Structure 1
Amino acid sequence: MTTATAPLIGRTRARGVETLSLDAPATRNALSSALVGALAGALADCAEDSGVRAVVLTHTGGTFCAGADLRDPPHPDAFVGLLRRIVALPKPVVARVTGHVRAGGLGLLAACDVTAAATASTFAFTEVRIGVAPAVISLPLLPRTDPRAVARYYLTGERFDAPEAARIGLLTAAGDDVDAVLAPVLEGLRRSAPQALAETKRLLTARVLEAFDRDAADLTALSARLFSTAEAREGMTAFLERRDPAWAL
């Protein structure tokens, strides 16, 4: 007798808005190969479904996404494909965050068209603290955010809050009630013509897709190389063992 595997992506629909929920709270919605594949498949369904006007990407549990699953990380090519699918989807993708976001999860936010988070949410590019770099997520992130602020947070791995995330361009807006923040956005999308939305999104994402076309191969190779180094192995082992890595001063 086999046990059914719980779905990793929850799906609901209301008035043309499809809500996709990262639903692996036991791993803080870490980006495993299975979760990345399931989300990519759900987005592909939305792209083909004429009944979907827009997509909301949200989560269960207190963390939107903890970054890569260090026990079952996705192949860099698969993660690049997921980020590009969000950017190129012919329908707006809206991120709804009521928890914390780390590392690769910030790439998901950067790929979305509109992003909103609760004021209590926190954010951090933690890659440098485990011996790697925020390589692949730079594809959607660097064209959309303040370069000076991103330099600080990339290099230090320090945590920042939702108002700061909005200031630097990672978020569209932050507020105590994220659903109230998003209500006029979703209403506006429901009143917009599907073809007009698709073409307008194409205008808005042209520069981001240029970054994918130009840099994806090099950044994917960089990510794969860094994850195979001794420094990364020490950093990931230290993280899993809840201790400081050998290089910490």
Structure 2
Amino acid sequence: MTSDRVLQVSVSRGVATLTLDSPSNRNALSRAMRAQLRSALADALDDEDVRVIVLDHTGRVFCSGMDLSEATGGAAEDQGVHEFPEILETVWRSPKPVLGVVRGPARAGGVGLLAACDVVVAGGSATFAFSEVRLGIVPAVISAVVLPRMLPHVAHRLLLTGEVFDAAAAAAGGLVDVCVPDDAVDAAVAAQVTALAAGAPAALAETKRLLRAGGLRGSFDELLELSARFFASEEGQEGIAAFREKRPARWVPAAD
């Protein structure tokens, strides 16, 4: 494995497992991660022997969202958002079932990646947060996949507050399908893969097309423009700087 390899790919018995493997930056959606994820998804979809795609991760964190070290400056191409809508749409519209596995924290774009999956299995240690508003950013792009999946009133509160919620709350809100203790995650994933692979490939593809017939929420072009605008805004740059400097952003009220 080369030093710039941040995604492990394995194919076995009809299952393509794509494992986010960049624990040093909490499996952030860096340029390298996005490029390798796009390529691996395309390969899995082209491989006739692959029946199910699994998104997993190494390290404690599933995915911390966009790599904020690459998200400074005003130009949209420098903010690291252009490929992400394509990744979400590829997962969302994949004719092959996609199963997400989360064993620890997922934040922002990482939650969006899970929301695009057909089935999400979470361990008890998993936590989630739509942290964008606390960084002066709008969760525009991920809203396309989050809003169709989650209960509206739950998504409303969590997207506005940015608060952390656990796997049980994620399951109650519709984000997670199977919530099990940490030591039961692998068995739960295996059971779901077996169930998914029991379906006929063409029937599965057509059933998924029917399930997705309502389409994504909103135009990705419009959502991408909104997301890029806030990344480049004064608030967005201040929020990113505060995050990197481990200090409260200017808009956070001072403690009494």
* TM-score class, shorter: over 0.9
Question: Could you report, residue by residue, the CA deviation over 1:157-181 in whole angstroms, capped at 9, with x for unpaired residues?
Answer: 1100001001111011111011222
Question: 2:186 corresponds to which residue?
Answer: 179
Asked if structure 1 preserves the Cα contact closer than 8 Å seen for 2:30 and 2:80, the reply is no
Please state if 1:34 is matched with 2:32: yes
Superposed CA RMSD: 1.4
Q: What SS does structure 2 have at the residue aligned with 1:158? A: coil
Q: 2: distance between equivalents of 1:248 and 1:190?
A: 49
Percent identity over the alignment?
46
Asked if structure 2 preserves the Cα contact closer than 8 Å seen for 1:15 and 1:190, the reply is no
Question: Could you report, residue by residue, the CA deviation over 1:5-29 in whole angstroms, capped at 9, with x for unpaired residues?
Answer: 3311101222111110011110000
Amino acid at match of 2:89: R
Structure 2 unpaired stretches of 5+? 72-78
Q: 2: distance between equivalents of 1:44 and 1:90?
A: 12
Alignment of 1:39-78 (within 5 A): 39-73=37-71, 75-78=80-83
Question: Could you report, residue by residue, the CA deviation over 1:31-76 in whole angstroms, capped at 9, with x for unpaired residues?
Answer: 1122111101100001100010000001010000001101124643
From 206, 218, 221, the counterpart of 1:199: 206
Amino acid at match of 2:90: R
Q: What SS does structure 1 have at the residue aligned with 2:213? A: helix
TM-score of the pair, normalised by structure 2: 0.92
Question: 2:113 corresponds to which residue?
Answer: 108
Asked if structure 2 preserves the Cα contact closer than 8 Å seen for 1:95 and 1:109, the reply is yes
TM-score of the pair, normalised by structure 1: 0.94
Q: What SS does structure 2 have at the residue aligned with 1:76? A: coil
Amino acid at match of 2:235: E
Amino acid at match of 1:183: A
Please state if 1:237 is matched with 2:241: yes
Q: Higher mean Cα deviation, 11-20 or 124-133?
A: 11-20
From 157, 160, 172, the counterpart of 1:155: 160
User: How far 1:210 sits from its partner (Å)?
Assistant: 4.2
Q: 2: distance between equivalents of 1:243 and 1:92?
A: 41
Question: 2:220 corresponds to which residue?
Answer: 216
Q: What SS does structure 1 have at the residue aligned with 2:121? A: strand
Structure 1 unpaired stretches of 5+? none
